[in-house]
Structure 1
Amino acid sequence: MDLVTLGHTDTTVTRLAFGGAGIGNLFTPIGDEEADAALAAAWAAGIRSFDTAPHYGLGLSERRLGRFLRKYPRDGFHLSTKVGRILEAVEGPIGSDAANGFAVPATHVRRWDFSADGVRRSLEASMTRLGVDRVDTVYLHDPDNHLHQAITEAYPALERLRGEGLVGSIGVGMNHCAPLARFVRDTDIDEVLVAGRYTLLDQSALQDLLPAATEHGVSVVAGGVFNSGLLADPRPDATFDYATAPARLVERALRMQEVCARYGVPLRAAAARFPFGHPAVAGVLIGLRGPGEVTDAVEQNRRPIPDELWQDLRAEGLLPGDVPVPPCPPPVSGPDPGSNR
């Protein structure tokens, strides 16, 4: 797939990235074989960018991803993980982590820690689970309620780790735009991962974050492009940002689906492609948990979307007229299965 360079670095990513929450048993469990099959399908399709976090299944996602990637040359893929939550082993009876969204035994508890020591400890533990000696991108993960410490302690710690060669590029991942814009302006981060705030239903990142990223040369990776489900399969019981979708948004998504159907384009294809209309967006991160989902994501990413579709969405008041849209043909090319990148 096409490669793009992140921020001011020489770090490259494929424009479609594999999100690892699903293989960490997000909401429902999957076995090791299905997780391996999903990762194998992604690799065969040309995806070379893989994202994970300690939070995902209390380290399960990192362990599964690391086990899979060990068979490939280390410079043949881009690997990102996150810091901000320390995993501490539980003593005594072990329950379930379902309250945190993951179908795994609660063998550990998460403790917020954006101190310099916490960042180093978290990264070292992640590298052990992943089986690597460096990580291409490390994100500060959800520092919403810890902004001061994240900026004054965690970010400088990542700069030092970058200087030691353990970290390639530095990012921040959140679903709130204002704090991300502050990181863009006040630090020398390379990229931001913005979840759910630049989608067909929510373009709030366009107000401040995306202009700031463009001005400062910071790359944007768009996550949550389906707003947790509504834009993938709009129906009355669909979810929006991990809660039951309001009726007005369900109606809007259904109207978008009708427009897309005129051109034989699934709504999920338009939703995954939409962020590429903005020049600051370097890639889209999609959570994948099985080979069927991977195949579908890649196929939709290749699907040509005619300019007229975007024009109809604007004409019917479903997309603001000033929002940039991607060109046709799509920005992501077909895979080169023989390439390590």
Structure 2
Amino acid sequence: MPKTHRPAGAIDDARVPVGDHGLDLPRVGLGTASLANFLGVVPEEQAVETIRRAYDAGIRYFDTAPLYGHGLAERRLAAALDAKPRTDLVISSKVGRLLRAGAPRDDSQYYEGEPFYTEVPATGPVWDFSYDGVRTSLEESLDRLGLDRADILYLHDPDHHYEDAGTTAYAALRDLREAGTVRAIGAGMNRTPVLTRLVENCDLDLVLLAGRYTLLDQSAMTDLLPACRRRGTKVVVGGVFNSGILLDPSPQARYDYVPASGVIVERARRIKAICDRYDVPLAAAAIQFPLAHPQVASVLIGARSPDELNMDLDLLQVDIPAALWHDLRSSDLLPEDAHVPSGVTAGPGH
């Protein structure tokens, strides 16, 4: 493992101002989908321990959503952070789905007949981007979280619900921000066209983008990131490992939550070969790359255990020589105009 500059598992406490309502966002946060039985069961004790380890390491931004484990993520987050000072935390959740008994099956949450979330409560997600639905969703999330407010509220996966998301749902978010119930509003998804339209047509403080600005996929550079720059909208990046292929680009790797194609695996392997040339873990380059973009305020880690979390935190500290980024560009694996970390290191404070 290449040398690191800071103690293992420690992160900077740098924050980035977001919006005009007093929110300062940490550069590194913890996403909680994986801790809510996404693509495999995570025992509750392990999930809670992972969140507490993140807090002990200095992480203060935690992202969750009703969809994640059908409420499991929010409840586990509440259990882990119950005794922590609220003023020290940034909590984001999402709206657009209500958890209801007898909910119809949502095929977008299945692959080849198997659900992405397993061993979850019987209540399932029902789409609702109405004004009242958004406010109800927040009330129910706060109840599961044991909180009286959220710091950030995102429209969740409005791919096929743009009209409602951009009108009634956005109006609800705007009013909640104006009332001080939340400090920042945005939208979160893993596709850029609808997200770009929302940035262009709504007054969003930030967006949460999963998988489309990574070492493997920089497609957000064509539409979303330029729109965010024009509008002054900050970006939180999730899915930095593209479902694991940037941890281990094997033939069994996943990409966008499903088995990766041979073309994608081969591209990831080419990136890994250049990282190997400099004795840099592929995952270190993957986790550090998005933080170099000036619109990116924060990166979310998706660890499933304390050990995975420790690994991710150490990857943020790995020295990466400038020549590695040069070689990725010259091999057409990164665009020439892609922002890359400067200097020899690119931790969360850079």
Normalising TM by the smaller chain, what interval? over 0.9
The CA distance in 2 between the partners of 1:44 and 1:106, in whole Å, is 29
Match of 1:210 in 2: 225
- Say whether residues 1:310 and 2:322 are aligned partners: no
Question: Could you give the per-residue CA deviations for residues 1-54 of structure 1, whole angstroms, max 9, x where no partner exists?
Answer: 221122344211221110000111112112221112101211111111000000
- Say whether residues 1:260 and 2:275 are aligned partners: yes
Computed over aligned residues only, the root mean square deviation of the Cα atoms, in angstroms, reads 1.6
Match of 2:8 in 1: none
The CA distance in 2 between the partners of 1:330 and 1:46, in whole Å, is 17
Contact 1:8-1:218 at 8 Å conserved across structures: no
The CA distance in 1 between the partners of 2:205 and 2:136, in whole Å, is 22
For the structure 1 residues 17 and 148, does the alpha-carbon distance in structure 2 shift closer, same or farther, using more than 3 Å as the test?
Answer: same
Q: Aligned match of 1:35 in 32, 47, 52?
A: 47
When structure 1 is superposed on structure 2, of 316-325 and 18-27 the one drifting more is 316-325
Question: Could you give the per-residue CA deviations for residues 69-115 of structure 1, whole angstroms, max 9, x where no partner exists?
Answer: 12111111100000000001249xxxxx9744112244112110000
- Say whether residues 1:169 and 2:169 are aligned partners: no
- Counterpart mapping for 1:143-154 below 5 A: 143-154=158-169
The CA distance in 1 between the partners of 2:74 and 2:36, in whole Å, is 8
The CA distance in 2 between the partners of 1:50 and 1:239, in whole Å, is 24
Contact 2:37-2:120 at 8 Å conserved across structures: no
The CA distance in 1 between the partners of 2:120 and 2:23, in whole Å, is 35
Which AA in structure 2 matches 1:330? A
For the structure 1 residues 325 and 333, does the alpha-carbon distance in structure 2 shift closer, same or farther, using more than 3 Å as the test?
Answer: closer
- Counterpart mapping for 1:159-238 below 5 A: 159-238=174-253
Which AA in structure 1 matches 2:50? A
Match of 2:128 in 1: 113
SS of 1:145's equivalent in the other structure is coil
- Say whether residues 1:3 and 2:15 are aligned partners: yes
Q: Which runs of 4+ in 1 moved over 6 A?
A: none
TM-score by length of 1: 0.93
Q: How far 1:331 sits from its partner (Å)?
A: 4.0
The CA distance in 2 between the partners of 1:104 and 1:165, in whole Å, is 36
SS of 2:161's equivalent in the other structure is helix
Contact 1:83-1:119 at 8 Å conserved across structures: yes
The CA distance in 1 between the partners of 2:324 and 2:50, in whole Å, is 31
Match of 2:3 in 1: none
TM-score by length of 2: 0.90
Question: Could you give the per-residue CA deviations for residues 218-274 of structure 1, whole angstroms, max 9, x where no partner exists?
Answer: 000111111111111110110111121111221111121111112221101101111
Percent pairwise identity = 48
Q: How far 1:286 sits from its partner (Å)?
A: 2.0
Which AA in structure 2 matches 1:64? R
The CA distance in 1 between the partners of 2:120 and 2:49, in whole Å, is 23
Which AA in structure 1 matches 2:346? P
Which AA in structure 2 matches 1:169? A
- Say whether residues 1:282 and 2:297 are aligned partners: yes
The CA distance in 1 between the partners of 2:217 and 2:152, in whole Å, is 26
Structure 2, gaps ≥5 residues long: 1-11, 104-108
Which AA in structure 1 matches 2:46? E
- Say whether residues 1:18 and 2:30 are aligned partners: yes
Q: Aligned match of 2:340 in 325, 332, 335?
A: 325
Contact 2:72-2:120 at 8 Å conserved across structures: no
The CA distance in 1 between the partners of 2:348 and 2:121, in whole Å, is 39
Which AA in structure 2 matches 1:71? A
Q: How far 1:276 sits from its partner (Å)?
A: 1.8
Q: How far 1:333 sits from its partner (Å)?
A: 4.5
Q: Aligned match of 1:245 in 241, 253, 260?
A: 260
When structure 1 is superposed on structure 2, of 176-185 and 121-130 the one drifting more is 176-185
Which AA in structure 2 matches 1:45? A
Question: Could you give the per-residue CA deviations for residues 295-322 of structure 1, whole angstroms, max 9, x where no partner exists?
Answer: 0111101112111110111122222222
Contact 1:198-1:205 at 8 Å conserved across structures: yes
Contact 2:52-2:81 at 8 Å conserved across structures: no
The CA distance in 2 between the partners of 1:105 and 1:38, in whole Å, is 19
Instruction: Figure out how many residues of one structure are paired with residues of the other and give that number.
Output: 329
